[in-house]
Amino acid sequence: MRHPQTDLQQYNRFIQRKRAALLAALLVTLLAALLYMGIGSMRLSVGDILRVLGGAGEAKHVTAIKNIRLPRVLAAILIGAVLAASGAVMQCVLRNPLASASTLGVSQGAAFGAAIGIIVFGGGMITNSNSNSTVAVNNPYTVTLCAFVFGSISSLVVIAISRLRRGIGPGGLVLAGTALSAMFAGGSTLLQYFADDTSLGAVVFWTFGNLGNVGWRDLRFLAVVFAICFVFYFFNRWNYNAMEAGYDTAKSLGVNSEALMLWSMGVCSLSAAAAVSFAGIISFVGLIAPHMMRFFVGDDHRFLIPGSAICGSLLLILADAAAKLIDPPVILPIGAIMSFIGGPVFLILLFRGRGGRD
């Protein structure tokens, strides 16, 4: 007969390993962010970066870091964290390993909204720093607002479908999101067909994904979104663990499964829509980051949600660093880089059997 004290010690060691995995991931992410800020046309050492962050350093280093590189790396951290944590929660409440903002139509809805903001309202024209052409900025927040609204509409439609057709199931919701994605993609194509060259270029550039357009005011908004959604996830972490065993098991443990799914989907979709509306379409972050962290922390959402957030931040930092280093001084689209990274990683996870559920 096993002694209870032995079981407690094993459980404590089990928890400590998960905490150590989270701490290691956090330290790697912080180191990557520090090294990332040294990349660019003006190379900076770690010492230069630390001096600027400490309130000293040369004037040109202060300008480069505080005005350009620090906002960009913070955008990668916040947007990656929001998308990845939302993906982890969606995969749990929908019981579908393929659930994420991109597979449920949120990203495509935001792209359609951005196309409306640029082509119809003529706002938020984006300057492409990688070319010699410059586009005037009429209203830089029009495109962001339209992208957020239509990304939110997509999520609300999916939630409404789940309410009206209670037997549709989690897999049916993903299929509904796929159908919405196709509709929004078709709408975006029609808008681009009637657009002039300048507007068409702005729409295409927005859909590439770009962290350089996120300023300090945008970061404050994203930080608020980050805080709200993570407070919600924190208070429901045990409920998500119950949901992992199935809806019926969760109900037997006192969890209102249907309400939790609807509220979680609302929070996840709105937060993902907010992130996408500022940075454009960045695929695979919410899909692969949770699966990657399951290798280290398992399905315990006390550790999986923060671990996914850290992993999502790290993925975006590495993708944006690659976008800078592949063909300098040109900065390649982070959305395309993330797809090149995410596609093979997801296939590896799938073939190793970690992408599905038992």
Higher-scoring residue by pLDDT: 2, 323: 323
The gap from C-alpha 92 to its chain's centroid, in whole angstroms, comes to 16
Residue ranges covered by each domain of the chain: 70-78+89-284
pLDDT digits (tens, 9 = 90+) for 300-318: 899 999 999 999 999 999 9
Higher-scoring residue by pLDDT: 129, 253: 253
Q: Exposure pattern of 108-140 as b/e (b: 16+ CB <10 Å)?
A: bbbbbbbbbbbbeebbbbbebeeeeeebeeeee
pLDDT for the residue numbered 170: 62
Query: CA-based diameter of the chain, in Å?
Result: 77
User: For the domain 70-78+89-284, what is the CATH code?
Assistant: 1.10.3470.10
Q: Which pLDDT band, with edges at 50, 70 and 90, does 134 fall under?
A: very low
d(CA 74, CA 284): 19
